[in-house]
Amino acid sequence: MIQVTKSFLPPLDSYIEYLKGIWERGQLTNHGPLVLELEKVLADYLQVKHVFFVTNGTMALQIAAKALGIQKKIITTPFSCVATTSAMVWEGVEPVFADINPKTFTISPTSIRAELTSEVEAILATHVYGNPCEIEALTEIAEEYEIPLIFDGAHAFGVDYKGKPLASYGDVTVLSFHATKIFHTIEGGALVTNNDAVAHKIGYMRNFGYNGPEDFFGIGINAKASEFQAAMGLSVFPYVDEIIEKRSKVVGFYQDRLFNSGLQMMQIQEGTTRVNHAYFPVLFSSEERLLAARSVLADKQIFPRRYFYPSLNRLNYVNNNLINDTSTDLSKRVLCLPLSPDLTEKDVNFISELIIQSGC
């Protein structure tokens, strides 16, 4: 069986060493030393002032909306994980969808401008499959309208844009450290910011709003991550570069094998100086051909995924403000092929041949 991805597990001995320290100290959570160490390691790696390690990326999105005071509407992409939209709806914020670039799959600045009104309080853009958004154009819009720019960087760990970590851009970047990600803590996520005032709010909001043991800054929630999650993160982190390098080789195998297949591949954003190969999406000529290929692969116990389907503007709990949108079209035709550091050239050749035989 070959799944769309495979979680990386570090050497067991390294994880156990961290566990021994947890047993010796007896502190399992509440901002323990491993959580603080991981936040420091990540802040250095991402070249940012503040990293807040939390329970998951969805909670990070919710806290970002709260910390930035977003209450009415937010412009976002319909081509993303469902959490990008559902986290906003959960917080009582109405998503207003801007369409996407058909080549890079990221949110279109032109479409954003068409949807801006006085009720829009922020932009939430996803670095889709780790492919950077149009950073300068989005920053210009946010500054012009004096609204915050949030990046959903769930797929973007290890990506560099113009020589800087991608997570260092924007007012807040939200990360996911789910077990399927390149860098993971089993479950987990983070909020990243260089804004001291926003950092102060995030700091107390993730911990019930506490200001010391008997006082509160304001409303908060329990988004604290445990020492066990941090231990996994610290065990995985030394292998990130190796993981990305191996994934790059697998992607190279796919690109060589599928070069003349007729499948369209995602165009990497100009200015990207390091790609992390979080996913390998391919675009079929029709949904029917995608479904045919998926069926052929499933018969051989190979399971790609339709990331992301359906387009989020088609969810039954949002208002769809788009007509004949690129996102809806692409969501029907995009399939992410299996990708992990353990995949061999033989595996890729077999998968590719099945897809080609299916009539892609």
DSSP states along 235-270:
HHGGGHHHHHHHHHHHHHHHHHHTTTSS-EEPPPPT
Q: Which two tokens stand for residue 207?
A: 């911990």
Q: Is 358 left (phi over 0), alpha (psi -120 to 50) or beta?
A: alpha
Mean pLDDT taken over the chain = 97
For the chain, percent of residues with pLDDT exceeding 70: 100
Rg (CA), the chain: 21
Strands (E), the chain: 2-3, 50-54, 73-76, 94-97, 120-126, 149-152, 160-161, 164-165, 172-176, 189-193, 264-265, 272-274, 281-283, 302-303, 334-336
pLDDT at 319: 97
CATH number for the domain whose boundaries are 2-238: 3.40.640.10
Mean pLDDT of 181-210: 98
Q: Is residue 275 predicted with pLDDT exceeding 80?
A: yes
Q: How confident is the model at residue 256 (pLDDT cuts 50, 70, 90)?
A: very high
- Backbone angles phi and psi of 76, in degrees to 5: -145, 180
Mean pLDDT of 62-70: 98
pLDDT at 348: 98
Place of tokens 């390149």: 182
pLDDT digits (tens, 9 = 90+) for 200-219: 999 999 999 999 999 999 99
Place of tokens 């990305």: 244
Q: Which two tokens stand for residue 208?
A: 């019930």
pLDDT at 359: 84
Please state the pTM of the whole predicted model: 0.97
pLDDT at 233: 98
The domains of the chain are located at 2-238, 240-357
161 three-state secondary structure = strand
Note whether 185 and 233 are within 8 A (CB).
yes
Q: Is residue 160 predicted with pLDDT exceeding 90?
A: yes
What is the fold of 240-357? Aspartate Aminotransferase, domain 1 (3.90.1150)
Q: How confident is the model at residue 360 (pLDDT cuts 50, 70, 90)?
A: confident
Which residues neighbour 153 within 8 Å (Cβ) at sequence distance 6 or greater?
Answer: 127, 166, 167, 173, 174, 175, 192
